[in-house]
Structure 1
Amino acid sequence: MTLVQRFGKPDLFITMTCNPSWEEIKSELLAGQTPQDRLDLLTRVFRAKLEQLKEDIIEKGVLGNVVAYAYVIEFQKRGLPHVHMLVVLDENDKINNPDEYDRIVRAEIPNEDVEPQLYNVVLKHMIHGPCGIHNPQSPCMKNGRCKRKYPKPFAPVTVQGNDSYPIYQRRGNRLPVSLDRQGNIMVDNSWVIPYNPWLLLRYDCHINVEICASIKSVKYLYKYVYKGPDRVTVEVQSNPEYDEIKQFQDVRWVCAPEALWKIFKFIINRIYPSVERLQIHLPNMHQVQFRADESIINILHDKSTRKTMLTEFFTLNHVDAEARRYVYMEIPSHYRWIQAQRKWSKRMNRNKVIGRIYAVSPAEGEKFYLRILLNHVRGPTSFTNLRTVNGVLHPTFKQAAEQRGFFRKR
């Protein structure tokens, strides 16, 4: 969770789902077509809406100045794409108390006379279910209860919750409203999914906005980023005899919009700023990759195999005075690693990159103390230089770290 280590707890969790009724989709359909007939169109429009959402939130800062974000695209079993996004705000825009929560997120049905347009889209997109007694077969029902815990309890004011999300204001002083013309399904504020009024009106789709009150929210998103595609076990029998090994098939579920998303080469997930993982090793103890048919003699005489991110960091400090201003993990912010040439090159674009040295356990001894030195010493030119303190060359990295005052002797 490098974003959390670098920027602290995320502030907002946003989910946006494709709306097949968007005017941009309907206006391009041919006579007799439905959105389900033009999944390529549905996919492209959702991607365009996502780019617009990113521009509003990240570049224009409609919810605050964004310093980092992560998102992943998912696809429902019925095929509709949706995005999960975590947003980290600048320290000056952090959401720290319930009053600020109410400024960004609502969980109530608006007054129809005061905000008629918002009233309609909330009832259309932001009402959970119906489930429970209204629909016992709803997908959210588990053991006779809604696993999303709807209907939510009423709350006169927003308060800090004990779990991942706050308890939003849901006043119980308004009459239930009908979801259908017949009045068979009546809902109140306890059924409303939290939303941001401005985003909901702008995008006219299900767009859930939550305040991240706990670090637990991070696990939810990272699970989606790294879990991989949906999978299913299929049993195929061509005769009455059942052979479990022969009949087992390991397959993937890929719906049409997901296949089109990949055909169009749209991004599935992204983390900003990107993270460059930095190698760390003791002198002449780095890993070397080679083909099985290569000669060991040739490998040992190949000078390129001796070059690593770390050794070339030392080389860079020899020739570039500006590089000597930085510690090892700050280098990726100003230089980029060219793997093919095995060297650091001055970064010419404005891409924001942060560096992270691979974790090292204290049980690894000298390598652990080397990592401590690399995190604090600016502009080292060699392993020997790291072990030199005030002109004195120390035999170990541990002693050099002690002399620099990074930790006390026992």
Structure 2
Amino acid sequence: MQANNLRWIALIQDKIHADLYKGLEDSLHAGEHNTENVGRRTILPSSFVGSPRDMHQRYQDAMALVHKFGKPDIFLTMTCNPSWPEIQSKLLVIQVPNDRPDLLTRVFHAKLEELKKDVLERGILGTVVAYVYVIEFQKSGLPHVHMLLILDQNDKLTTPDDFDKIVRAVIPDEQQEPKLYKGVLKHMIHGPCGVLNHKSPCMKQGSCKKGLPKEFSNDTKQGNDSYPLYRRPQDRPAVPLRENSRVRVDNRWVVPYNPFFLLKYDCHVNIEICSSIKCVKYLYKYIHKGSDRV
């Protein structure tokens, strides 16, 4: 169906005056007199979901929400877990989750609808007055959602104590919180990369693009035009990433999470406090960057 839509758009380029774009004129002025060599630029209208014009239009809509309700407070990312029972129980013996993208999508959509109820109706993170979310289906990887939440003025997160009530960035005690302990090691440990794995996809010019591992910190600190520096105490030795694994990790490798969402959804659910970020346009441009620009 998408191929048919693209073909139809290509056939109506005359109606949207695609030939008049400056790029073609510049090519001719530069000495390229054979128009067959110049080619023809196909312009995708904003009605085509995922096109640059569509994403720019959605970005402008999101900025209108900021103008009315203020800066976003929480940046939430949830990624599909191919090991969910709803997925595994429907696979044939010879199948793996990637063989059933339709199943992955349907189950993820159901989980997302429940997440929206928790966030928007039940107010697990506070009263939400405005929100924006984008679902990404990458060519490689699992479907995931980026969500920006603007909270009511009475629920704004302004102090490190407020941050600690919603976000944690530590490996729990295995004896006191065994389920959460397993969930963090399974879903919320980054990489590992750096000295533990130089071939990790996040490595660029010898360092991690995500800035991990983080530094140890006994207290949560307010970010300076950035995400907060979450509490990551050096209070216990590193633990094995998996059973019988020689890789050992500590609090520096933990991706910030909320215990409620991690236990309920059993998948990667990253929660970041973004109220201290001054450049809100960066956040909205990040989630509206387009389907193939991750």
Decide: shared fold, TM above 0.5.
yes
- Is 1:37 matched with 2:99? yes
**1:223 alignment partner AA:** Y
Letter aligned with residue 284 of structure 2: L
Counterpart residue number, 1:145: 207
Question: Per-residue displacement from partner, 1:213-261 (whole Å, max 9, x unpaired)?
Answer: 2133542333332x33327xxxxxxxxxxxxxxxxxxxxx9xxxxxxxx
1:97 is matched with: 159
- SS of equivalent residue, structure 1 residue 63: coil
Q: Does 1:72 align with 2:134?
A: yes
Contact 1:95–1:101 under 8 Å retained in 2: yes
- Distance in 2, matches of 1:177 and 1:45, equals 32
Work out whether residues 71 and 280 of structure 2, in 8 Å CA contact, stay in contact via their aligned partners in 1.
Answer: no
The 5 A counterparts of 1:3-152 are 3-152=65-214
Q: Is the 8 A contact 1:10 1:218 kept in 2?
A: no
1:154-205 per-residue CA deviation (whole Å, 9 max, x = no partner) reads 1110010113200000001111000133341010000000000000111100
Q: Which amino acid aligns with 1:9?
A: K
One-letter code aligned to 2:270: N
Partner of residue 2, structure 1: 64
| Contact 1:154 1:190 survives alignment (8 Å) | yes
* TM superposition shift of 1:133: 1.4
The answer to whether the Cα contact below 8 Å between 2:127 and 2:155 also exists between their aligned partners in 1 is yes
4+ residue segments displaced more than 6 Å:
none
Larger Rg, first or second structure (1 or 2):
1
Q: CA RMSD in A?
A: 1.5
1:140-179 equivalences under 5 Å are 140-179=202-241
Q: 2:284 aligns with which of 185, 204, 221?
A: 221
1:198 aligns with 2:265: no
Report the counterpart of residue 243 of structure 2 in structure 1. 181
Distance 1:58 1:218 in 2: 23
Query: Residue 242 of structure 2 aligns to a residue in which SS?
Result: coil
Gapped regions of structure 1 (runs ≥ 5): 232-252, 254-410
After the TM superposition, which residues 321-332 of structure 1 pair with which residues of structure 2 at under 5 Å, given as runs? none
Deviations 1:238-290 (A, max 9, x none): xxxxxxxxxxxxxxx9xxxxxxxxxxxxxxxxxxxxxxxxxxxxxxxxxxxxx
SS at 1:84 equivalent: strand
1: CA distance, partners of 2:250 / 2:102: 37
CA distance in 2, matches of 1:92, 1:42: 38
Contact 1:85/1:221 (<8 A) preserved: no
Give the distance between the partners of 1:109 and 1:217, measured in 2 at CA: 30
Per chain length, whose mean CA-contact separation is higher, i.e. which structure has more relative contact order (CA < 8 Å, sep 6+)? 2
Identity %: 61
Alignment of 1:273-312 (within 5 A): none
User: Cα offset for 1:31?
Assistant: 3.0
Kept in 2, the 8 Å contact 1:164–1:216? The answer is no
Tell me which amino acid in the other structure corresponds to 1:221. Answer: Y
Alignment of 1:228-239 (within 5 A): 228-230=290-292
Preserved contact between residue 160 and residue 221 of structure 2 (Cα < 8 Å):
yes
Note the 1:229-378 alignment, pairs <5 A: 229-230=291-292
Shift of 1:126: 0.2
CA distance in 1, matches of 2:209, 2:91: 37
> For structure 2, which runs of at least 5 residues remain unmatched after alignment?
1-62
C-alpha separation between the residues in 2 aligned to 1:201 and 1:35?
22
Q: Secondary structure of 1:129's match?
A: coil
Residues 59-99 of structure 1: per-residue CA shift (max 9 Å, x gap): 11111111000011112342411110000111111111000
Q: TM-score, normalised by structure 1?
A: 0.55
Q: Secondary structure of 2:285's partner?
A: helix
CA distance in structure 2 between the aligned counterparts of 1:130 and 1:217, rounded to whole angstroms: 29
